[in-house]
Amino acid sequence: MTDAAESPETGPAPKPLLGAADIRRLAGELGVRPTKTLGQNFVIDGNTIRRIVGAAELDPTETVLEVGPGLGSLTLGLLDAAAHVVAVEIDPVLAGKLPNTVEEFRPGASGRFTLINQDALKVTELPHQPTALVANLPYNVAVPVVLHLLEHFPSLRHGLVMVQDEVADRLAASPGSKIYGVPSVKAAWYGTMRKAGVIGMNVFWPAPKIHSGLVAFERQEQPETRASREEVFTVIDAAFAQRRKTLRAALSSWAGNGAEAERLLRLANVDPSARGEVLDIAAYIRIAEARIPMQA
Ligand code: SAM
């Protein structure tokens, strides 16, 4: 059953989105058996799509990047809210069908839709500059995909992604909280992340065993720093590789030895006996900079 609720009091009915029967039919036509390896859980509920698209706060002139369009559930909602959708799908069978689905459910919208059959982690160029990332991400690669795209596409200024609920909490965590970790600090390099809701399991086929979470992000100005992103990320990785250790101990290999780690931490105005989980991105930047000699 296609999800196209009639609403005589509120004007024209919304355009049809994919319901459970559409997903079953499309998957049947393709002989698709969703795989866990590719995180294939397809949304079968139009209200969830409307909620995601609404929370993404898209401007109708925007070009949206969607990763993992799958059978097209979210793609159709995005085509209604944005000027152009660029979708990157790794599965060639799903990718092969998607243009037909767009034509079937949104006749005439094909010119506003670009499909790329590729691994999102390897994409470094796109034919259109996307301004927003909106995606129901494959859960096993969600954080690397978000960080990779923010790094390679500076045109992305905001977005809304659906990830495992626990990962959503991690991405949006603040310093000092138990779940604050590498994804939280690295994401903060690019901008602000905010938890934007929880999604139940029954809106997917097949239903996952865990809840999903929505994360909204806004890109901020790139931090002013003499250290490169790679140098800052190396410090972050080292600090959290030994989460229970003090920063003096955790950063001793990075600095050369414990005494040097302590000297650099003090130079960066960071307490050497603190742990990595209490530092914000600005502190990590200061530590990375402490190791770079000042120009004369
Ligand atoms: N957007 C669809 C929806 O909401 O129903 C499908 C979402 S499903 C959670 C994740 C999708 O990402 C699948 O279609 C899967 O094939 C695709 N995928 C998995 N790994 C990928 C990767 N590295 N690059 C691009 N697409 C990927």
Q: What is the reported pTM?
A: 0.94
pLDDT at 73 over 80: yes
Strands 113-117 and 132-136: unpaired
What pLDDT is attached to residue 202? 97
Q: Does 295 reside within a domain?
A: no
Residues 6+ apart with CB under 8 A from 93: 30, 31, 32
Cα 204 to middle of ligand 1, angstroms: 13
Q: Is 55 helix (H, G, I), strand (E, B) or coil?
A: helix
* Same structural domain, 91 and 238: no
Write the CATH number for 70.
3.40.50.150
Same-domain status, 201 and 241: no
> Has residue 261 been placed in a domain?
yes
Question: Phi and psi dihedrals of 213, rounded to 5?
Answer: -130, 150
Please indicate, yes or no, whether residues 160 and 281 belong to a single structural domain of this protein. Answer: no
Burial environment of residue 173 by CB neighbours within 10 A (0 to 12, 13 to 18, 19 or more):
buried
Q: Whose CA is nearest to atom 21 of ligand 1?
A: 90
Report yes or no on 105 lying in a domain: yes
Q: Is residue 108 part of a domain?
A: yes
Residue nearest to atom 11 of ligand 1 (CA): 68
pLDDT band per the 50, 70, 90 thresholds, residue 147: very high
Based on the fold, state whether residues 142 and 207 are members of the same structural domain.
yes
Confidence of residue 290 (pLDDT cuts 50, 70, 90): very high
- Pair (61, 199) in one structural domain: yes
245 and 178 share a domain?
no
> Rounded to the nearest whole angstrom, what is the distance from the C-alpha of residue 152 to the centroid of ligand 1?
19
C-alpha 141 – ligand 1 centre gap (Å): 10
Ligand 1, residue 204: give the atom nearest the CA: 5
Average pLDDT value for residue range 217-233: 93
86: nearest Cα among 39, 143, 53, 131: 131
Q: What is the pLDDT of residues 117-143, one digit of tens each?
A: 999 999 999 999 999 999 999 999 999
Find the 68 Cα to ligand 1 centroid distance in Å.
Answer: 3
Residues 6 or more apart whose CB falls under 8 angstroms from that of 292 comprise: 226, 227, 231
* pLDDT per position as a tens digit, 16-48: 999 999 999 999 999 999 999 999 999 999 999
Q: Between these two residues, 295 and 3, which has the higher pLDDT value?
A: 295
**Does residue 278 sit in the same domain as residue 190?**
no
**51 in a structural domain:** yes
Ligand 1 atom 3: residue of nearest CA: 42
**For residue 157, pLDDT beyond 70:** yes
* Residue 110 token pair: 């094909």
Nearest CA among 100, 283, 57, 256 for reference residue 176: 283
> Which residues are within 8 A (CB) of 140 and not within 5 positions of it... i.e. 6 or more apart?
37, 39
- On whether both 194 and 255 belong to a single domain, the answer is no
Mutating to test ligand 1, I would choose from 89, 121, 123 the residue with most ligand atoms within 8 A of its C-beta, which is 89
Query: The sheet that has 84-89: what strands, in order across it?
Result: 113-117, 84-89, 63-67, 132-136, 158-164, 212-219, 191-199
142 membership: H or E segment, kind and range:
helix 142-152
Domain boundary among 177, 196, 219: 219
**Nearest C-alpha to atom 19 of ligand 1 is from which residue?**
38
How many structural domains comprise the chain?
2
CA 291–ligand 1 middle distance (angstroms): 40
Tell me: pLDDT of 221 over 80. Answer: yes
Q: Please indicate, yes or no, if residue 252 is contained in any of the structural domains.
A: yes
* CATH of residue 247: 1.10.8.100
- Residues contacting ligand 1 via CB (< 6 Å): 38-43, 67-70, 73-74, 88-91, 94, 119-121, 136, 138, 141
Cα–ligand 1 centroid distance for 244 (angstroms): 35
* pLDDT value of residue 294: 76
pLDDT value of residue 135: 98
Closest C-alpha to ligand 1, atom 8: 40
Domain encompassing residue 276: 229-290
Percent of the chain whose pLDDT exceeds 90: 91
pLDDT above 60: residue 252: yes
Mean residue pLDDT of the chain comes to: 95
Q: How far is the CA of 69 from the centre of ligand 1 (A)?
A: 6
| Atom of ligand 1 at shortest range from CA of 18 | 5
| CA atoms of 209 and 189, how far apart (whole Å) | 31
Instruction: Give the C-alpha distances (Å, rounded to integers) separating 80 from 9, 12, 27, 134.
Output: 21, 14, 23, 13
Q: Which of 219, 245, 261 is the last residue of a domain?
A: 219
**Pair 198, 242 in one domain:** no
Mean pLDDT over 190-217 rounds to: 97
Angle, CA of 181, 224 and 134, to the nearest 5°: 55
Looking at the fold, whether 45 and 146 belong to one and the same domain comes out as yes
Does the pLDDT of residue 155 top 70, yes or no?
A: yes
pLDDT-based confidence at residue 104 (cuts at 50, 70, 90): very high
Q: What are phi and psi of 93, to 5 degrees?
A: -70, -45
**Residue at a domain's end among 200, 219, 238:** 219
Q: Say what the pLDDT of residue 14 is.
A: 76
Residue 266 lies in a domain: yes
Across the chain, the runs of DSSP E, i.e. the strands, are 42-43, 63-67, 84-89, 113-117, 132-136, 158-164, 191-199, 204-205, 212-219
Q: What's the gap in Å between 66 CA and the centre of ligand 1?
A: 9
Query: What is d(CA 175, CA 184) in angstroms, rounded to the nearest whole number?
Result: 8
Whether residue 59 is found in the same domain as residue 152: yes
Residues 74 and 203 in one domain: yes
